[in-house]
């Protein structure tokens, strides 16, 4: 009787099939659960005479193994059909979202950094909320110096010693007070000035300033570095000129122009008929600044330069309105996809 039942269940197990996980679970319960048919056969096996136990025991174990293998195979088959995780990105939103692009300011900043890195400049950064000494006093701005009026300052508190930096030169002073020469750093970052917002000005903008201090640094070294930058940024045919100027932290000081790439230096509306476009200020680091930062001005000399990234971006991409850089208009930003 038991032998016939085992043979019958073997035939059933060979033919079982399922279309979903619920049917598979039902088969497992029917054959292999504590009250399943195969389990009940093991209970009946206790009454089998001793001389038949070996033969029937082997067949009973064979039935149980086949039933387990068959149900496991059905589970694997059903899982492989329904598992589409490898073909599906579960992080995607239901609506398609266009990929973003780098901001034009970031594109130009990265290009400037890359050019000067070839000359050995490394990056330096500092806080945007600064104190008066790093922003003004260390850079040769006495308390009542009229040059302070050149930069309308945002003060963070009623204490005039806490302010938003008006230039990234304060990063240079932090480097000079914490490192020994030779120093060759590039300081990019956002700066703030209390100005009326218009197509040509904003209350915040971005600067890149450079500083090189070592023994026997001359104005010729500065000119050569800036000529290399201009040719790399605007093209091999670009020419530069340096005009005398004034900055409290450099002496002598100069402003640098490049030949207008629109008219080739012949004169147009963009360069106001002059053939030249101003892009940055520069000069030799004033000895007072070196001494303020603990550097012996009789042993070391250096040069510094600074430019507005928005200004360079305007020249490179002909953006006429500075406000476009901070309005996040997707139509405007999409124009720079090809610049990556």
Structure confidence by residue, pLDDT tens digits, 169-223: 999 999 999 999 999 999 999 999 888 887 777 888 999 999 999 999 999 999 9
Q: Give the chain's mean pLDDT.
A: 85
Tell me the C-alpha distance between 101 and 120, whole Å: 29
Give me the residues paired with residue 187 across strands.
209
Residues 6+ apart with CB under 8 A from 242: 223, 226, 254, 255, 256, 282
- Region 57-63: mean pLDDT is 80
What's the residue count for the chain?
Answer: 340
Give buried/exposed letters for 14-36 (b at 16+ CB in 10 A, else e).
eeeebeeeeebeebbebbeeeeb
Stronger pLDDT, 311 or 124, i.e. the higher one: 124
Q: Coil, strand or helix: which one is 154?
A: coil
Cα 199 from Cα 324, distance rounded (Å): 9
Decide if 325 contacts 243 (C-beta within 8 A).
no
Q: What pLDDT, on the 0 to 100 scale, is given for residue 19?
A: 79
Range 58-71 average pLDDT: 83
User: Greater confidence, 114 or 88?
Assistant: 114
User: Is the per-residue pLDDT at 241 higher than 70?
Assistant: yes
Q: Supply the pLDDT for residue 146.
A: 64
Give the pLDDT confidence of 103-160 residue by residue, as tens digits.
Answer: 899 999 999 999 999 999 999 999 999 998 998 999 988 777 765 665 688 888 777 7
Residue 12 β-bridge partners: none
Taking residues 243-250, report their average pLDDT: 93
**Contact (CB, 8 A) for 191 and 168:** yes
Q: Are 291 and 297 in contact (CB under 8 A)?
A: yes
Residue 83 has pLDDT above 70, yes or no: no
Whether 268 has a pLDDT exceeding 80, the answer reads: no
Residue 16: predicted pLDDT? 83
Q: Look at residue 79 in the predicted model and tell me its pLDDT.
A: 67
Confidence band for 36, pLDDT divided at 50, 70 and 90: confident
Q: Distance between CA 133 and CA 141 in Å, rounded?
A: 9
Residue 149: predicted pLDDT: 62
pLDDT of residue 339: 62
């Amino acid at each position: 009787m038991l032998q016939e039942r085992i043979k019958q269940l073997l035939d059933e197990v060979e033919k079982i099939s399922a279309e979903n996980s619920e049917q598979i679970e039902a088969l497992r319960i029917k054959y292999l659960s504590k009250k399943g048919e195969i389990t009940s056969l093991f209970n009946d096996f206790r009454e089998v005479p001793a001389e038949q136990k070996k033969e029937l025991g082997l067949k009973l174990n064979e039935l149980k193994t086949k039933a387990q293998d068959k149900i496991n195979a059905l589970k694997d088959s059903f899982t492989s059909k329904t598992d589409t995780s490898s073909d599906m990105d579960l992080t995607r939103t239901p609506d398609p979202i266009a990929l973003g692009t780098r901001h034009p300011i970031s594109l130009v900043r990265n290009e400037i950094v890359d050019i000067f890195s070839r000359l050995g400049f490394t990056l330096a950064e500092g806080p945007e909320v600064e104190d008066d000494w790093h922003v003004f006093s260390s850079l040769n701005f006495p308390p009542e110096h009229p040059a302070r009026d050149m930069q309308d300052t945002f003060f963070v508190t009623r204490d005039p010693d806490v302010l938003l930096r008006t230039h990234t030169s304060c990063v240079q002073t932090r480097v000079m007070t914490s490192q020994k020469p030779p120093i060759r750093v590039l300081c990019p970052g956002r700066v703030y000035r209390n100005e009326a917002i218009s197509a040509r000005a904003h209350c915040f903008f971005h600067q890149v300033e450079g500083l090189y201090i070592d023994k026997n640094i001359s104005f010729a070294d500065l000119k050569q570095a800036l000529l290399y930058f201009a040719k790399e940024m605007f093209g091999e045919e670009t020419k530069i000129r340096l005009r005398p100027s004034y900055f409290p932290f450099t002496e002598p000081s100069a402003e640098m122009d490049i030949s207008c790439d629109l008219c080739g230096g012949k004169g147009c509306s963009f360069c106001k008929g002059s053939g030249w476009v101003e892009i940055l200020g520069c000069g030799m680091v004033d000895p007072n600044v070196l001494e303020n930062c603990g550097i012996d001005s009789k042993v070391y000399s250096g040069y510094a330069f600074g430019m507005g990234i928005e200004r360079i971006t305007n020249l490179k991409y002909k953006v006429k309105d500075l406000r476009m850089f901070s309005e996040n208009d997707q139509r405007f930003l999409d124009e720079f996809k090809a610049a990556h």
